[in-house]
Structure 1
Amino acid sequence: MEKIWRFGHLDDGRAVHAYRLQGEAGVAADILDLGGVLARLVVPGAGGPVDAILRLADARAYFADPAYLGILVGRYGNRIGGARFSLDGRAYTLAANEGRNHLHGGMLGFGRRLWEVIEYRPDMLVLQYHSPDGEEGYPGNLDVRATYRLEGASLVLDFEARCDAATPFNPTHHPYFNLAGDPAVPASAQVLQVPADGYLPVDAELIPNGAVAGVAGTAFDFRSARTLDAAFDPADPQLQACGGYDHCLVLESARDCAAMLYSPHSGVAMRIDCDAPGLQLYGGHGLDRQHPGLGRGVCLEPQGFPDAPNQPAFPDAILRPGTAFRRRIGYRFAMPGRDRGWDAVAAALQRN
């Protein structure tokens, strides 16, 4: 049965609606037409349904949110240094919304725009947005479609896009996961595995310095599963400069998945699948200031490399006319049970 309801209004009077997706495997998701926000995600846990992500109260809260909870990110996820880049011999200036830099698409980006609902079924929602030439400083008209779909115990997000002029394009998704389902349980107590043998060191403004550093022997090595608490090294200069994890992990080209996350407290595990070259790991430390009392969640954002338009050695992140962009992010859930060993967790995620 379809379920749609009004989720509040923006300050200019426009109504925001929520759309419920409900699957047979017990996974349920609420998605807003504002920014394509994933406003609620419920999965089966050892003690009953678990709220897997952090969420806010209403449309105005999401529109004003400085932490980007749950949004579809674009045109460019992460940062572009100096809010500028050159493309095909021409210089472009973008909206500077994090100091002198450009973050997550600018002042409004994709996450504070109302998207058009193209199709809605109990297990699927298709959203569409037209980004006009010059929006936030980007060149060219861009048409992007985002499809959320429940497939068994998985929530799948598909991006598709076309443009009429070359433009940087690096969409991603920004939910904050705490699979414990309890804000009293630290998100850093979750166990994380990421098949990444490198990461991108950043400067004081969180812009990559152009190098790819090896993770071996560092706080960024999650090739073997461990909690974020266990991995964290307060003496690491990169973690000191950023206040915590806010780094792009460089995923191995031959890999089975992009990441796996597990809460020993709820027994819930999640696997992320995506073909993007990087995975931004953000520990949510900014939430203590931005949303006191909300708790923390961990962001795991599959994406291209930050500042790639200014870094020739990074994988290309330019979408050109005549090329169809496609990227799939799949979140697969399982319930191996509380306090299980990692072999059991990985096996449960393989079965689902």
Structure 2
Amino acid sequence: MTITKTTFGFTSSGEEIFKFILKNHRGLQVEVLTYGATIQKLYVPNGDGGVVDVVLGFDTLPEYEAAHPYIGSFIGRNANRLKKEVVIAGEKIALTVNEGESQLHGGIKGFDKRVWDAAIVDDSLVLSLYSKDGDEGFPGNLKVQTTFKLVDLRLEMQLSATTDQPTIVNFTRHDYFNLCSGVKNSVVSHKLQVHAGSYTELDGNMITTGRLVPVAGTLYDFTEVRVVGDADEGFDLNYVLDKTSNKLKLAAQVWAPDSDITLKVYCTQPGLQFFSAKSILLASGKEDYEHVGSPGLCLEPQYFPNSPSHSHFPSTILLPSEVYEEQVVYDFG
């Protein structure tokens, strides 16, 4: 296991950004930026003795600083959408809005746009961030950490936080996967299975209504293995995972016809957002990227969207007496 550090560039405000490269004896390699705790590259061994970079990303820091759909980012304080007003500990809180009348993925300057501190601890990379009270409207000073570790053909990630006031915490990762060897392939031919029997219903503004709807008989049913493109209506939906505890459990599996690489996503969170990226348009990308429809797909472990508005949803309120601790694992075969 090796971890190396290089300079990736300087932000427009002059902050130096580093890239950490983690590689193990199996040939699994992840390259992580201190800008947005971003996974820029993720190389997985294939059956031909080579490796394939299975995530979308950019070659330069200015591309990451420019507007993009959260490519490879850490999302916080809250993944997905929240109404612009929430109630925390009995107090009505006004949040910043960046999508209509809602807040998406932590607001105008979420954790995906922050510069993280970094430390190498044993055989892991630990990134940390301090989010001040009032950040994007959220109360409480929040201390955040995320840890990256390679074990065999698994990328194991810990997501943790503590607060000094009651606040909302719901982190996720927003990595776009494409298991095919080549950046010009679409993921519509990928096969997907999601271990979820229901989903959280949305209104016309993409905000959860509070209803949990069975997937059976709908386009959203991936309880059996299906080709993504067979019913690709532009999926952007939170699934209610078939799990009854916060223990690490298999959430989804992905296969691709032109690749011998498979992906299993394990998580401790109760929900999983499946985003097929049919609508995204990327002007650039790594390795002479050329735009194709649905260039990657996201499987985002999370708590349910807009949870503070629905008391029967698993709570996303973090108290000063508690520690937020979740785990996400990408397991490749």
| Both structures adopt the same fold (TM-score exceeding 0.5) | yes
- Paired with 1:256 and 1:128, the residues of 2 have a C-alpha distance of 26
Counterpart amino acid of residue 8 in structure 2: F
1:167 alignment counterpart: 167
Deviation of residue 184 (structure 1)?
2.8
Deviation of residue 294 (structure 1)?
4.2
- Paired with 2:230 and 2:249, the residues of 1 have a C-alpha distance of 24
2:280 alignment counterpart: 287
Does 2:208 correspond to 1:218?
Answer: no
8 A Cα contact 1:53 1:181, kept in partner: no
Deviation of residue 290 (structure 1)?
6.3
Map 1:34-113 → 2, pairs under 5 A? 34-47=35-48, 48-81=50-83, 83-113=84-114
**What CA RMSD, in Å, does the superposition of the two structures yield over aligned residues?**
1.7
Does 2:243 correspond to 1:253?
Answer: yes
Alignment CA distance shift 1:115-1:108 (3 Å): same
The runs of 4+ residues in structure 1 deviating greater than 4 Å are 289-292
Deviations 1:138-183 (A, max 9, x none): 0001101100000110001101111011101000000000011323
- Paired with 1:150 and 1:218, the residues of 2 have a C-alpha distance of 37
2:318 alignment counterpart: 319
Deviations 1:107-160 (A, max 9, x none): 111111111113256x52101111110011000011011000001100011011
Counterpart amino acid of residue 272 in structure 2: L
2:258 alignment counterpart: 265
Alignment CA distance shift 1:12-1:140 (3 Å): same
Select which of 265, 268, 283 maps to 1:275. 268
Which SS does the other structure have where 1:129 is aligned?
A: strand
Unaligned runs of 5+ in 1: 233-238, 335-352
Deviation of residue 188 (structure 1)?
1.7
1:23 alignment counterpart: 24
Unaligned runs of 5+ in 2: none
2:208 alignment counterpart: 208
Counterpart amino acid of residue 312 in structure 1: S
Deviation of residue 66 (structure 1)?
2.6
8 A Cα contact 1:73 1:110, kept in partner: yes
Which structure features the higher share of helix residues? 1
Which SS does the other structure have where 2:229 is aligned?
A: helix
Deviation of residue 65 (structure 1)?
3.3
> Kindly, what percent of the aligned residue pairs are identical?
33
How many residue pairs get aligned? The number is 322
8 A Cα contact 1:67 1:286, kept in partner: no
Counterpart amino acid of residue 208 in structure 2: P
Counterpart amino acid of residue 186 in structure 2: P
Which shows bigger deviation, 288-297 or 52-61? 288-297
- Paired with 2:190 and 2:73, the residues of 1 have a C-alpha distance of 22
2:327 alignment counterpart: 328
Which shows bigger deviation, 134-143 or 291-300? 291-300
Deviation of residue 100 (structure 1)?
1.6
